Amino acid sequence: MTPISTVRLKALSRMNSETLYPSESEALADRFEAEDSDEARGVAEQVMAFAKAAITK
């Protein structure tokens, strides 16, 4: 399991901020690309693994 302190949470933070406070002039689909999705999914999986391990201790 990856230590949570080494996980780059910026991908999730960016998606969270930009979806909560969208720009009226640009669709969200135009702001994110497949690579953004892949990175965010990988980070989310690492966070979930950390949380599951912490819960089962």
Q: Write down the pLDDT at residue 28.
A: 75
E-only strand ranges, the chain: none
Spans of the chain, pLDDT less than 70: 1
Q: Write down the pLDDT at residue 49.
A: 92
Answer whether 10's CB lies under 8 Å from 42's CB. no
Cβ contacts of residue 32 below 8 Å, gap of 6+? 15, 18
Q: Write down the pLDDT at residue 5.
A: 82
pTM of the model: 0.70
Q: Write down the pLDDT at residue 33.
A: 87
Answer whether 40's CB lies under 8 Å from 11's CB. yes
